[in-house]
Each structure stands twice: as C-alpha cells, then as structure tokens.
Amino acid sequence: MPESGPREFVVEADGGSRGNPGPAGYGAVVLDPASGEALAEAAEYLGTVTNNVAEYRGLLAGLRAAHALDPGARVHVRMDSKLVVEQMSGRWKIKHPDLKPLATTAARVFPPDQVTYEWIPRERNKHADRLANEAMDAGARGERWSPAASTAALDAGVRDAGVRDTGVRDTAARDAAAPDAAAEAAEAAEDTDVTAHPTAAEGAETTGTETAGTETAGTETTGTETTGTETAGAKADADARAARAVATPGWAPADLGAPATLVLLRHGETPLTPQKRFSGSGGSDPSLSAIGREQAERVAAALARRGTVQAVVASPLARTRETAGIVAARLGLDVTVEDGLRETDFGAWEGLTFAEVSERYPDDLNTWLASPEARPTGGGESFATTATRIAATRDKLVAAYAGRTVLLVTHVTPIKMLVRLALGAPLESLFRMELSAASLSAVAYYADGNASVRLFNDTSHLR
C-alpha cells in the first residue's frame, strides 16, 4: 500500500495579562483535526509581562508540544490574536523588541512550509483561553499550573460558539465577519494588544463569566459586554470531548491551500428507521421522530462546541431539512437545499423491510444485490445512477466551498457513495459499510483532486 501523508495537528494558543503588563499566563492545546481530541496541553504562569508576550509564549509552547508529538507533522495554528497571526504569517512587521526574539524562536520550531496560521474569534479559542486563565489563577495562589487539575477541555464545550448565555449574539462573532478595513493602519501601529484578563474578583472566565473583546485596526481592545453565568454539568467523558470537532478546515502543502471539507451528517431517526424499512426519495417522505429530533439537537450541540462548520447544505427531503434546520439554528447559519443530495429512489420497495422485499420480489432483490446497474422493482434508481448523481454533486459542492468546511445533511446512500468515491472503492463496498442515524463522517478534497477520509460513522455525540 502507498505510504500515508504526514500527520496533521491543530494548535490553539492564547495568552493574557491582567493589567498589561501585569500577572500573565499562557495556554496551548494540540488537537487531532479529525476527532477534536486534545493530544497535549500546556500552560504556565509568567509573572508580570504584556499580553502580546504571553500570546507569543503560548504559541511557542503549542508548537513545541506538537513538535514533541511528531516533528514531521503539518501544523495549523489557530489564535484569536490578529497581531500574532498576521506577524507570523509575514503580512505585518514585528516592531516591538520583546516580540522579535519570541517570533524568531517560534518560526524555527517547524520548517515554515509545515505551519499555517488562522485567526479565529475569541469564543472559538475557549480551550486555550481557559488554560491561560488557569495558569494565571494558579500563579495568583503561588502555585504551578497542574494538568491533572485542569478542567479547560470540559469548560470549553459548555456554551455555543458565538452565543452568550443570555441569548445575545457575541460581538466577537459579529466582528469576525466584518472586513478588516484598517489593516494598513494596524501594520504601521506599535505592537500593542490591550485585551486584559480580569482577576476572579473582576469576573474572570474561571468563575464562569466572560468579558468579550473587539478588534479595531489590528489592536485588540477590552470590550464592555459581560456574559451571564455559564451553565454547569457538561459531560466529562472522552466521547463528549472528541465530539467537539468532527472536521477542522484542513490544510495541505502551501501550493495546494486549504481543502474543501465536507462534514457528512446522516439525518436523525424517523419512524421507519428502527424498523429498517427502505426509505428513499420515492416514498412517503417521513419527518423525524421524537428520538430523531433529540439526536439532531445533540449533534448540533457537538458541532457548536467546535465552531468549524461554515455552511449547511441539505437534501430536499423532510427528514434532512428538519435535521439541518435544528443544527443550523444552533450554529447561526442558513440552510441551502441541494437536490443532488437526495436519497436513492427505491421504487416499489419504499416502506418495506428487507425481509418483505425478499418475500415479494426475490429475483429483483437478488439481481439488485449482485449488480449496481440493477434497479429496484418498479423503476427505482440504480446505485450506478446514484453514483453519477453524487459525483456531480460532489464536484459542484467542492468548487463552491473550496477552502471551507460545509455540513452536508443527507442520507445513507449519498454518504456511503461520497466515502466510496474518496477511497476509490468499488460500488459493491456500499454493502460493507454501516452508517447510523445522526452519525458524522468527513472527507477533505484538495486542489490537486486528492481526497482524504477524516471520519466515518462517528456517534460519540449521541452517548
């Protein structure tokens, strides 16, 4: 078999100073981009330094942690500091003498072509932010940060990305969508970042409240809005933590750019699902059952905790549109309907169980199982025809969402077909895949035409 490509990591890092300069600390986490699992965490109290120094120290710690895991890996750094991201990407100059040596050291951890940088809103950098706050709190007590006592991974998944506990849309998420009209002015400005991290008495995130910052001209300033109290009782098991990310916007060698990542969600249960009845595009078009709606809510919460999905596209059938609507509402996105994502038409078999079809149409069923060109009884759609439709739909969506992560809410056959096409497997492989209701899969498509299956039939968010 051909060798697989280099390992890939996501590094999220943050730093803060309560006073700027003031008591400061950093946090960093190395994540698996497919599962969202935290592979390594780092945090440290720094004493009295500026916010920018703390952010660079967080970046350096995250890169070193990733390097310790695999020096040959490709690393995608995500930070909420526009300053650090733009400077490390080479678009802004580094002027402050305290930052130049840190940036130089960080640039040498990995070869430059193995690292890419992305700015993200603060609410999507909660894990690293909480690690930094834990380090500052430990320093205030005269202690060192302890990974065994850390709850950052758990706390980071408590609330929806970009939505306050009070139901008010976070200004950081709003500002993230606005163009950076003052970028040139920011390049000319001094390397300053005055986002202060408050002490626990002032409402730090470690107490369950948060003060959100806004960015102007590349200089981050302290905002005035304060969140409500975070709800408690988030799941502490590894499955819940892994469900924070199904797929992160990927990356490839610099000449290829980021891929189009299709996150594939099978709709939630309908009344026909537990009975294992054929339910395609030519039948009764059932809606979700109560269990199916609960499944949709759970997957919505899992995707919201990660915040990587940038668009939602659904099959036109009722069960997929309903599932997509629940997820999209949680993510603050609209739903686009794509007819090419509809399920196969199973003809006269619609609504029947496999046993009932075997009893009524044994010859047709045997032919269908033996040949992807065969159609179900009554003029349904063959798998070969479905494959052509899905391939065309894939090409359309990959072109439309190049470099982005899009959630496709669809059905068993389209998802299996997309995975089969990505793997270059024969049509017969469709009968060798199990796909659960409300499960998540993911495929990344690169500019050179190659594809990478990142995830398949993940149901950890339902447990």
Residues involved in catalysis = 267, 343
Strands 311-314 and 335-337: parallel
H helical segments located in 226-377: 238-242, 290-306, 318-331, 354-360, 362-370
Concatenated DSSP letters of 335-385: EEE-GGGPPP--GGGTT-BHHHHHHH-HHHHHHHHH-TTPPPTTT---HHH
User: Of 11, 145, 12, which Cα lies nearest the Cα of 67?
Assistant: 11
**Alpha-carbon distance 329 to 408, whole Å?**
15
Q: Are 441 and 414 in contact (CB under 8 A)?
A: no
Long-range contacts of 375-378 (CB under 8 A, 24+ apart): 375/347, 376/278, 376/345, 376/346, 376/347, 376/348, 376/349, 377/347, 377/348, 377/349, 378/347, 378/348, 378/349
Provide the residue type at 390 as one letter.
Answer: I
**Alpha-carbon distance 170 to 175, whole Å?**
9
User: Of 308, 273, 290, which Cα lies nearest the Cα of 118?
Assistant: 308
Concatenated DSSP letters of 424-461: T--GGGGGG----TT-EEEEEE-TTS-EEEEEEEE-GG
Quote the Cα angle for 145-235-412, to 5°: 130
Q: Are 263 and 444 in contact (CB under 8 A)?
A: no
